């Protein structure tokens, strides 16, 4: 009897928690909705940026069939998909966390009855849903109308969509850990930029990892970055399919678990050694 | 004679104020010394992304539309110099529509007996970002050597004139965009777009198709910020006429932009508070 009651309480507790995080996702989505016009210029920005890489790769491929295992058409699709997907998983999580730490607002967060990291992920996810609807999809469609690019087979398309959830989570976790570095240095822009450089280069956003020399690929292999962009893109292009594609999903799960542990450890360590500015 | 004396006094007064602002700036930055160096270092890191892109691509191909690795590196090195001046002094013209016009900060500027544009620039500058310029020179020297370039004495004054022109183009474009803030009264999000477009100037124009090349040459002349002038310095003469136009385009664009700025200042009525 008492066991059953305890279980019931536990269930209610879980349900309440879930409701809290779902509410946070919804809240962030609605918040972003208020600023949707500012995303409109973002679409133009992305188009200009993608345009630069389109012209460059177009020129790089003149007189060549294959580079790094991709032909020209695949490369152009790769670049477009990589950037459009980035517009979905990108978040200011690192900046938000770092600024909260720098300004000491983190102290207020510490006394609130919820899990700090979960709240941040929930809000980032709300923003990501918004970004899919108002940024990634319109940008993808607009670019497709200007310059049609390759579409995946339906099996690969489905696995690709699944890996996008992994891309979002891994990117969010890396951002979270980067944000926590603000506990150790007050230079938030330094952290933000260093993370950006690493992600741009090693996630495969700017260059497919297959372009790097063998020694660099061997190092990149030991990090979670290429699971964010490079591997999902290969699934989209059909370079990885079937079992190999499913392996990517499991690799992402592996990294989500590892990064989750690292983030928790970082958080515990940092909270013990927290120095609040002027406090 | 009297005019020359006046000019001399004016220049020395502006220089004096510049050094005074710089001294204050260094004091504020030295309060968080380590963070300051991280900031400078991370800026160089951010720039190195494009360098790595170029280096990696050229491990796969010997040339891009007839441009070798060393030539593309040389263009990139040149581009870094006006870009360093832009990031050090002109980047925060970005703040004008929002901070200075909408929030009325310009009131404070306008009551002082010093040129308003100059005040905004020295108030918001990050002169430490000039470190990008020596990095650019180093890349030019390295790639110049690699392609067997023999420098002559006139390359140095020529380089100075070309860098001056390229910087004036940056100043012109960003002053113009900032001045639009007097009419729009707030940000309209044009600056990040133009920033992305300016990055097109670091690659050979032959990469781009007709309309894009036209825009980069005659509308938002970022082709003159990197590509055209650097071809002349690497002694490739197929774009010599464009290269020689660099200072002319620079002076024209800054003159137009500064007139728009002055018209904007005249229009400015404060926030009314």
Q: Render pLDDT for B19-36 as a digit per residue (tens, 0 to 9).
A: 999 999 988 888 878 778
Calpha distance B39→A201 (Å, rounded): 19
Measured between CA atoms, the residue of chain B closest to residue A43 is: B193
The pLDDT value recorded for residue A113 is 78
Contacts of A242 (CB under 8 A, 6+ apart): A155
B192 SS3 class: helix
The pLDDT value recorded for residue B138 is 95
- A195-199, B3-7, B68-72: least confident range: B3-7
Confidence of residue A188 (pLDDT cuts 50, 70, 90): confident
Partnered with residue B64 across adjacent β-strands are: B67
Please report residues of B whose CB lies closer than 8 A to that of A44: 193
Partnered with residue A70 across adjacent β-strands are: A67
Query: Checking DSSP bridges between strand B67-68 and strand B63-64, what pairing results, if any?
Result: antiparallel
- Mark yes or no for CB contact B60/A68 under 8 Å: yes
- Mark yes or no for CB contact A197/B212 under 8 Å: no
Please report residues of B whose CB lies closer than 8 A to that of A200: 49
Q: Does A155 touch chain B (CB under 8 A)?
A: no
Contact yes or no for B77/B137 (Cβ under 8 A):
yes
DSSP of chain A: -HHHHHHHHHHHHHHHHHHHHHHHHHHHHHHHHTTHHHHHHHHHHHHHHHHHHHHHHHHHTTT-SEETTEEHHHHHHHHHHHHHHHHHH---HHHHHHHHHHTTTHHHHHTSSS-HHHHHHHHHHHHHHHHIIIIIHHHHHHHHHHS------HHHHHHHHHHHHHHHHHHHHHHHHHHHGGGT-S-HHHHHHHHHHHHHHHSSSSS-GGGS-HHHHHHHTTSSGGGTTHHHHHHHHTSS-THHHHHHHHHHHHHHHHHHHHHHHHHHHHHHT---TT-
Q: What are the pLDDT digits (tens) for B234-245?
A: 999 999 999 999
Partnered with residue A66 across adjacent β-strands are: A71
Per-residue pLDDT for B9 more than 70? yes
Per-residue pLDDT for B272 more than 70? no
Contact yes or no for B73/B54 (Cβ under 8 A):
yes
For B6, other C-beta atoms within 10 Å of its C-beta total 10
- Mark yes or no for CB contact A52/B196 under 8 Å: yes
- List the one residue out of B120, B118, B76 whose CA is nearest residue B225: B76
Calpha distance B75→B73 (Å, rounded): 5
Confidence of residue B187 (pLDDT cuts 50, 70, 90): confident
The pLDDT value recorded for residue A128 is 92
For A34, other C-beta atoms within 10 Å of its C-beta total 8
- A15-24, B130-139, B162-171: least confident range: A15-24
Q: Name the pTM for this structure.
A: 0.89
Calpha distance A61→A74 (Å, rounded): 11
Confidence of residue A218 (pLDDT cuts 50, 70, 90): very high
Contacts of A248 (CB under 8 A, 6+ apart): A159, A163, A166, A227, A231, A232, A234, A235, A240
Calpha distance A186→A189 (Å, rounded): 9
Please give the interface size between A and B, counted as residue pairs whose CB atoms are below 8 Å apart.
87
User: Please, what is the average pLDDT of chain B?
Assistant: 90
């Amino acid at each position: 009897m008492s066991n059953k009651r305890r279980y019931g309480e536990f269930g209610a507790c879980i349900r309440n928690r879930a409701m809290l995080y779902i509410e946070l996702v919804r809240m962030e989505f609605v918040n972003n909705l208020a600023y949707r016009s500012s995303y409109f210029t973002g679409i133009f920005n992305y188009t200009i940026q993608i345009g630069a890489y389109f012209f460059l790769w177009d020129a790089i491929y003149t007189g060549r069939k294959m580079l790094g295992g991709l032909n020209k058409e695949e490369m152009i699709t790769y670049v477009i998909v990589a950037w459009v997907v980035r517009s979905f998983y990108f978040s200011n999580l690192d900046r938000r966390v770092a600024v909260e730490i720098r300004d000491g607002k983190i102290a207020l967060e510490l006394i609130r009855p919820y899990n700090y990291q979960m709240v941040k992920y929930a809000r980032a996810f709300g923003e990501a849903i918004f970004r899919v609807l108002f940024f990634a999809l319109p940008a993808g469609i607009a670019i497709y109308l200007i310059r049609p690019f390759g579409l995946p087979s339906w099996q690969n398309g489905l696995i690709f969509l699944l890996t996008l959830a992994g891309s979002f989570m891994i990117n969010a976790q890396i951002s979270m850990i980067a944000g926590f570095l603000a506990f150790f240095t007050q230079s938030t822009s330094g952290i933000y930029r260093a993370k950006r450089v690493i992600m741009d280069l090693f996630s495969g956003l700017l260059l497919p990892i297959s372009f790097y020399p063998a020694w660099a690929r061997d190092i990149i292999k030991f990090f979670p970055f290429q699971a964010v962009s490079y591997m999902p893109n290969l699934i989209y292009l059909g370079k990885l399919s079937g079992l190999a594609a499913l392996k990517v999903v499991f690799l992402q799960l592996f990294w989500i678990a590892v990064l989750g542990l690292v983030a928790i450890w970082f958080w515990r360590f940092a909270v013990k050694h927290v120095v609040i500015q002027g406090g | 004679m009297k005019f020359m004396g006046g000019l001399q006094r004016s220049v020395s007064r502006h220089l004096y104020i510049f050094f005074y602002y710089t001294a204050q700036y260094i004091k504020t930055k030295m309060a968080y010394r380590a963070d300051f160096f991280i900031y400078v270092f991370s800026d160089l890191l951010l720039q190195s992304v494009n360098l790595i892109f170029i280096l990696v691509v050229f491990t796969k191909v010997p040339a891009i539309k007839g441009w070798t690795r060393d030539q593309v590196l040389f263009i990139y090195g040149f581009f870094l110099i006006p870009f360093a001046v832009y990031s050090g002094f002109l980047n925060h013209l970005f703040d004008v529509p929002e901070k200075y016009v909408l929030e009325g900060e310009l009131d404070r500027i306008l009551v002082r007996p010093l040129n308003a544009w100059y005040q905004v620039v020295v108030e918001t500058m990050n002169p430490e970002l000039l470190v990008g310029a020596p990095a650019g020179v180093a890349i030019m020297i390295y790639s110049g050597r690699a392609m067997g370039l023999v420098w002559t004495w006139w390359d140095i004054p020529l380089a100075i004139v070309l860098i001056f022109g390229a910087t004036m183009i940056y100043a012109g474009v960003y002053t113009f965009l900032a001045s639009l803030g007097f009419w729009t009264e707030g940000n309209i999000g044009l600056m990040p777009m133009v920033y992305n477009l300016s990055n097109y100037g670091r690659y050979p124009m032959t990469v781009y198709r007709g309309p894009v090349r036209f825009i980069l040459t005659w509308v938002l002349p970022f082709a003159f910020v990197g590509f055209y002038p650097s071809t002349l310095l690497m002694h490739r003469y197929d774009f010599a006429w464009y290269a020689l136009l660099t200072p002319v385009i620079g002076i024209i664009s800054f003159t137009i932009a500064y007139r728009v700025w002055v018209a904007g200042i005249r229009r400015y009525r404060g926030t009314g508070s």
